Structure 1
């Protein structure tokens, strides 16, 4: 029976963590993470790791652990490499300058080739955790053709099936009826059917217990005379796939069945080594399997690097995403006893700034790139680059996935993309658009030292790669509020739960206020960008909204999308496609107003601050209105005055003001209207003085803003009105006693009660 050297493995891992730089360029950042660099760096947002040394007591025992490390003299070594969630990044072309393209897979391939030639290793195992194809234009527009060519050339031993393998026809572009990777074609090779096994043991045809025929449960490879079984597994990721694409299949996520499967495979194949290859969290799986059966778990799906040892002694690795690096581990085997130990589970990060030079082609002089993979990479880009460099707009700042100030979910990328959805469906009079933050695949960041960012066709395919149809529905105010409430839920640490955001946490065309109620939100107000107040309790009046197909058809944990049983105004097959329609919308905008584009940083979803907060907001609006009067108002103030009108409507719609406060604000709206009329008179006078002056473009007629429904008085408010409430009655007296436009700030300041 195999002995598990748990203390020995720990000693090896910690010895690595406190060791010096390896190969002259490798630095260990944290336990289990290596960065290729020539200088020390800290963890960046692209390297998310799970620490292996879990507490100070273990850290204090480093010297003792190192002393316990066992000598592996005479043992054989199998070197394991894992990539995962490559998402089409055979190269990173986001600079759109050939000289700074990053040949990521060519670099990794060279590292693997060096390991294969290194006598320190008896053999090499190369696997991938799934989500290979979807995201970059040169992968998407060729349906992953060149990724398959690269993987075949690199001689992968097995790949897992990720959720994004379902984005296209999974049986045509990801796997075939033999359970191997689908075919590809290049100029040099012609059509090739690779023999790389696609392993996923828990994927079935829906409504049956029949395994699908396009994946294998496991594969067996011979390495240095040892039998290595690689068992496939998938997380229950159905909710991460568009409903129509996962409908024919089901995933059984029972980890007990995986435990039984690995035991049976080990016995049936007399395997010396068992590896689980999963599109799932490797740590969770490592904790669930039998340590006497499974030696190593290779994971994926979360876009993190994760390395370490589970509490039961099973090691795990996960290679981050987008070919930014790779996971590794050494499997040590005693040739006499067949005892197995796994040491040094690690992740190597290759895209640090100081290593980027090693990823560039350099006119063919870079010896750290595999020439065969370079050639495939260049053919991939050449196949699609025709329109990729076309500049559609020039943004005045970065467009990112980061949450804007004042919101818990709104990002500039989310608002921008949903705004383009509105542009694509403006003929249907859509007032709001919804998408999920998970569908935004990258940020469009300004270059170092630059203040603007050109947006190209390639950018659109990269940030929005899925080709989702945009469906338009007519829904009422209550349904719109429910749509937003479904997307925002909190965990025990008051963090927004990612899975629910897939209902559509990003939106444009409306601004929403809410209050937090335990782990949910209650939408209090919705105001359109045109200033219309949408009654969040109304079930009669409808509004046209657009949502991507994924969000519209989602069901998750007993919650259905509000659109699920509704009929779209335009049939699915005739509905616009997200990235294609975005490109067309930006072209139309460019041709109409030019390239320059201001990025919307509005917090579209904002927490309501309560009655006191509403009062403070009111005072702020009063201050802004009071600085204007008929003597000082100028044409350049028009936009600000119109925005103040909208802000007042939104505050009234929030339902946190007293009747007296609402009366004051409605009076202020009348003042604003007076000022706007004054501006019209000034404009008319200007035309009379200069009749040759060019006529301005005709503005769209302004929609009349509906008046807010009268607020019903509570008993306390009725009582206050009779006895003289200082927040309503006295203010009303002051207001009524003041003549002319422009009531003084002191007369209209509200005394806000602290609650």
Structure 2
């Protein structure tokens, strides 16, 4: 009898012990934490830009964050291609190697992943140890990359999807053979899939940006407002700098500027199957010592680029800055760097190639870095104009010139479609009304019936990024096959010494 009594006691002890174990494993009432680190628009920034960023420096910050926090998710919202020479010359192989080293969990693609033939991106995907999460792009009916990712970190089941703006079809040279699914439809579909597979937190890596370039353009804000069930959107594309996250339709939106200058850092708090808190800040990558092991991997790429591109082509008496207070000046108003580039295009067309050109024009989105004071190398010139764009001269009527500048007047401040012009142009914009108040070329008002010749790049001449607005009736087109970076290098070499200045050629009222 005592045996059975003892047996029952032991059974109850076992049952109670099991219950305690089960409860402690599930702990449904306990709040769990996860650190989100994110980057976007790195643009081949292997070494620091304006004393900020750098791949090896970023790696140090990420390592230190992991040492302090057990559960970390590291992601990127696209546009790691096209930037510094060390990256461009090696098809971003050092960038992928650095992301492998840092242990990125997921990366989506931006429009600049299609600056080169698709084969280059496919090769980059093979190099990567991380998944390219791409939910709305298909090649021959198959998803380009991995449609979504579900990863459990610290007991939190995280679902990740990736979306690239469908406008990539219009603004990227090598995206014409791909099929893009509309962004809002894709996001709604992905939320349903990820929640259906038990995701506690849904994160979208979206290369959309904050700038509504056309009435039908889907920004990250618009996506969040129209799709329920997204916890966080990690955004890219517009190179926006924010100091606190945006809150739209119960969705947090974050972004981390560009060129690895900042890493976004957020602390997620999750209770049960719901995000209950989110604290976020942009962390400037400044003052961090470069990670020694990663630097050793990157150094050969840098040395190869340096050996080929260290030829000094001229002298800058002062710095040609691209940024003022974290704002890309060329995308808002006249800039000394924009003047330099546009003047170079006009000069090369007329003086160098003996073509007729009344003025030069370049989209500010093609200008990617400033020039330092002192000796200017070919590498630094290539960093300013990293795309493989070439000089073209096109002819159009004065009426079409007016339409072109009317389009530029309508461009949202901060957008890369805003144009920089040569000194032959004087234009006055009414920003509030988005209209042209005055326009002259060569010191004379534009005449609708005259033909004008514009030195520009093939990107603009092809009507990309909205420029088709004034280029519907081109009467003449000459592709010179001269890279814009070479044109600028030749111009600086011809001048010998260059000094930054603005002269009022663009006025914004």
Q: Normalised by the shorter chain, which TM-score bucket? A: 0.7 to 0.9
Aligned with residue 173 of structure 1, among 97, 120, 123: 120
Q: Give the equivalent residue in structure 2 for 1:245.
A: 174
Aligned with residue 158 of structure 2, among 216, 228, 231: 228
Deviations 1:238-291 (A, max 9, x none): 37724x433333544442541232122220x3323322111134555444432x
| Long gaps (5+) in structure 2 | 1-27, 210-219
Q: Give the equivalent residue in structure 1 for 2:282.
A: 347
Aligned with residue 385 of structure 1, among 306, 319, 337: 306
1:567: how far off? 6.5
Deviations 1:684-733 (A, max 9, x none): xxxxxxxxxxxxxxxxxxxxxxxxxxxxxxxxxxxxxxxxxxxxxxxxxx
Q: Give the equivalent residue in structure 2 for 1:301.
A: 237
Q: Give the equivalent residue in structure 2 for 1:416.
A: 340
Q: Give the equivalent residue in structure 2 for 1:429.
A: 356
Q: TM-score scaled to structure 2, two decimals?
A: 0.80
Deviations 1:53-76 (A, max 9, x none): xxxxxxxxxxxxxxxxxxx99543
1:79 matched to 2:50? The reply is: no
Aligned with residue 457 of structure 2, among 532, 548, 551: 548
1:433: how far off? 1.0
Q: Contact 1:435/1:507 (CA < 8 Å) preserved in 2?
A: yes
Q: Give the equivalent residue in structure 1 for 2:378.
A: 457
When you count strand as a share of all residues, which structure comes out higher? 2
1:435: how far off? 0.6
Matches within 5 A, 1:264-413: 264-267=193-196, 269-281=197-209, 282-290=220-228, 293-306=229-242, 307-308=244-245, 310-334=247-271, 337-351=272-286, 355=287, 358-359=288-289, 369-401=290-322, 409-413=333-337
Q: 1:604 to 1:408 in 2, by over 3 A?
A: farther
Q: Contact 1:317/1:347 (CA < 8 Å) preserved in 2?
A: no
Q: In 2, Cα distance between the equivalents of 1:547 and 1:570?
A: 10
1:498: how far off? 4.6
SS of equivalent to 1:584: helix
Q: Give the equivalent residue in structure 2 for 1:69.
A: none
Q: TM-score scaled to structure 1, two decimals?
A: 0.56
Deviations 1:61-112 (A, max 9, x none): xxxxxxxxxxx99543322211111111121266xxxxxx767222322332
Q: How many residues align?
A: 464
Q: In 1, Cα distance between the equivalents of 2:431 and 2:269?
A: 53
Q: In 1, Cα distance between the equivalents of 2:499 and 2:113?
A: 36
Q: Give the equivalent residue in structure 2 for 1:58.
A: none
Structure having the higher Rg: 1
Q: 1:286 to 1:372 in 2, by over 3 A?
A: farther
Q: Give the equivalent residue in structure 2 for 1:114.
A: 64
1:454: how far off? 3.1
Q: Contact 1:144/1:173 (CA < 8 Å) preserved in 2?
A: no
Matches within 5 A, 1:26-65: none
Identify the structure with bigger relative contact order (alpha carbons < 8 Å, sequence gap 6+).
2
Q: 1:443 to 1:146 in 2, by over 3 A?
A: same
Deviations 1:664-683 (A, max 9, x none): xxxxxxxxxxxxxxxxxxxx
Range with greater deviation from structure 2 (513-522 or 455-464): 513-522
SS of equivalent to 1:172: helix
Q: 1:399 to 1:564 in 2, by over 3 A?
A: farther
Q: In 1, Cα distance between the equivalents of 2:100 and 2:245?
A: 29
Deviations 1:386-423 (A, max 9, x none): 143332222333324479x9x97322111110111123
1:537 matched to 2:451? The reply is: no
- State the superposition RMSD in angstroms: 3.3
Matches within 5 A, 1:124-203: 124-169=72-117, 171-175=118-122, 181-183=124-126, 193-203=127-137
Q: Give the equivalent residue in structure 2 for 1:602.
A: 503
Q: Give the equivalent residue in structure 1 for 2:490.
A: 584
Q: In 2, Cα distance between the equivalents of 1:286 and 1:479?
A: 38
Deviations 1:496-542 (A, max 9, x none): 5455x62x6211151324575973434655242xx6x4x62342x43
